[in-house]
Amino acid sequence: MEEFSSETVHYGIASQVNFIWQQIRSPFIVPVLKLLLVLCLVMQIMLFLERVYMGVVIAFVKLFGYKPEKRYKWEPIRDDLELGNSAYPMVLVQIPMYNEKEVYKLSIGAACGLSWPSDRIIIQVLDDSTDPIIKNMVAAECQRWASKGINIKYEIREKRNGYKAGALKEGMKRSYVKSCDYVVIFDADFQPEPNFLWRAIPFLVHNPEVALVQARWKFVNADECIMTRMQEMSLDYHFQVEQEVGSSTYAFFGFNGTAGVWRISAINEAGGWKERTTVEDMDLAVRASLKGWKFVYLGDLHVKNELPSTFKAFRYQQHRWSCGPANLFRKMVMEIIRNKRVTMWKKFYVIYSFFFVRKIIGHVGTFIFYCIVFPTTILVPEVEVPMWGVFYIPCIITLLNSVGTPRSLHLLVFWILFENVMSMHRTKATLIGLLETGRVNEWVVTEKLGDVLKTKSGGKTPKKPRIRIGERFNFLELGVGAYLLFCGWYDLTFGRNHFFLYLFVQSIAFFVVGFGYVGTFVPNS
């Protein structure tokens, strides 16, 4: 009798749910889903055209050897017997850091090893560390290099206002900076080659209209785990295609916050460092560009650095990189439109291509289409997704994205699945930035491991430490994975398009990340 009652209750609930679903399906769900599908397809076309445009430009650049040395005057800085070392511009090297225990020696050592007349360069370490032990270690390292004759300054401040932007701004106020012509910025895990200044500075010396020379990042730990390989694929496209296109067409490309040389007068004219967003580097670049300054990207000048190899660190980094640009777009779009010093083409490029398509549509469109709208159409067969929108265009976009890292072509499927998972976090961060709510100004310094894995485990990946359940499980990923799994099961049972093949595989990717099986596990210290 009890079993009969239980089955009756369950059947009654299922019937009620089905009745409600049928009532709202035609008048509400179907039209809303159709509208969302149209919007997603439009965004797909926008991304497709953007990728094709950049592909054409890159093909032209590579085919005709359109290098920066051909577009701008470049010749090595030569010794002058009369002027001596004063013929060389004065260069300030800034290294902002925050509790960088694992990498501070690498960055300071690389900066102090730069080849340049010793009386024409100043190394400025901007230490915002809150750990007194690490502070003492960094101060001691600076003292060690100072004892070797290096002009190195160790700077601290009482309050960490404005995070990195605040540190850079404070560093520029020092009296000795007034004698400097250019400033080079290296994050704490960046290790420039000794000839970095010899390659970059001449572009600024011989071209007074150039404000910034940006170098490319080279990742020392790209092969550490599958997550770092995925990051390499995304960032290689950014550096080899997006940055190159903006530079070669004289349109715009953003400063990456490190591995770049600025003309100090350009920084001052643009209004200096501002703390209003978490992408102070992009903010400065946009403002300088609106003043008419030009930027040069050197794709063959590499600076070694480290990719975040733990998922937690990567997730925080992606939040900042997605939320910051969206928030900056909100703050600056009208300023860009009203600007009268740059051409309409440049304003269109910055607003539409750089911000809207790459920083907003690229994140939001991917998640909404592949993780919400497309799976939901399985439950609502009245809404059909055209094959060109779900297969052909995405395949072309993916192939165009892969040109930056040909060695990882065999990982394309994994890259697609991982990017779709990360699009959830990027979409959330983008909306926070656009709406200026919640964690809009959250800044968590990306964790660097340096040589910790080698020194603690002899080069082998360490075993997973014991951590709390809340830290191990990522419930958003698990929730989306469960929804995709349900849609896949529904398509397998009632569908006819075999879309369940994608849905099952994508749900597995969400579960893998959701259960914490991605990235490197770091041993407890």
Residue by residue, pLDDT tens for the chain (525 residues) are 554 455 555 566 777 777 776 778 878 889 999 999 999 999 999 999 999 999 999 999 999 888 999 999 999 988 877 777 888 999 999 999 999 988 999 999 999 999 999 999 999 999 999 999 999 999 999 999 999 999 999 999 988 888 899 999 999 999 999 999 999 999 999 999 999 999 999 999 999 999 999 999 999 999 999 999 999 999 999 999 999 999 999 889 999 999 999 999 999 999 999 999 999 999 999 999 999 999 999 999 999 999 998 999 999 999 999 999 999 999 999 999 999 999 999 999 999 999 999 999 999 999 999 999 999 999 998 899 999 998 899 999 998 888 888 888 889 999 999 999 999 999 999 999 999 988 888 877 777 776 555 544 444 444 444 555 556 788 999 999 999 999 999 999 988 788 999 999 999 999 999 998 888 765 444
Is residue 236 part of the annotated active site? The answer reads: no
pLDDT of residue 452: 54
Identify whether the C-beta of residue 358 lies closer than 8 Å to the C-beta of residue 326. Answer: no
Give the residue from 58, 52, 90 showing the smallest Cα distance to 181.
Answer: 90
Cα 510 to Cα 102, 475, 485: the distances in Å are 31, 10, 10
pLDDT of residue 465: 46
Rounded Cα distance, 318 and 425, in Å: 8
**Residue 178: Cβ-neighbour burial (10 angstroms; 0-12, 13-18, 19+):** exposed
Rounded Cα distance, 191 and 479, in Å: 40
Active-site annotation holder among 127, 128, 187, 491:
128
Enumerate the H helices of 25-116 as residue ranges: 30-64, 68-71, 104-112
Hunting for tokens 């004759």 — which residue is that?
Answer: 149
**Residue 345: Cβ-neighbour burial (10 angstroms; 0-12, 13-18, 19+):** exposed
Q: Which residues pair with 125 in a beta bridge?
A: 95, 154
Rounded Cα distance, 310 and 467, in Å: 14
Rounded Cα distance, 290 and 199, in Å: 26
> Does domain 68-308 match CATH 3.30.2130.10?
no
Which pTM was predicted? Answer: 0.90
Active-site annotation holder among 127, 281, 283, 491:
281
Q: Which residues pair with 182 in a beta bridge?
A: 91, 263
pLDDT of residue 525: 40
DSSP state of 373: I
51: which residues sit within 8 A by CB, 6+ positions away? 396, 397, 400, 401
pLDDT of residue 458: 46
Phi-psi region of 239 (alpha: psi -120 to 50; beta: other; left: phi over 0): alpha
Identify whether the C-beta of residue 518 lies closer than 8 Å to the C-beta of residue 460. Answer: no
Is residue 451 part of the annotated active site? The answer reads: no
Identify whether the C-beta of residue 110 lies closer than 8 Å to the C-beta of residue 190. Answer: yes
- For the chain, the domains span 68-308
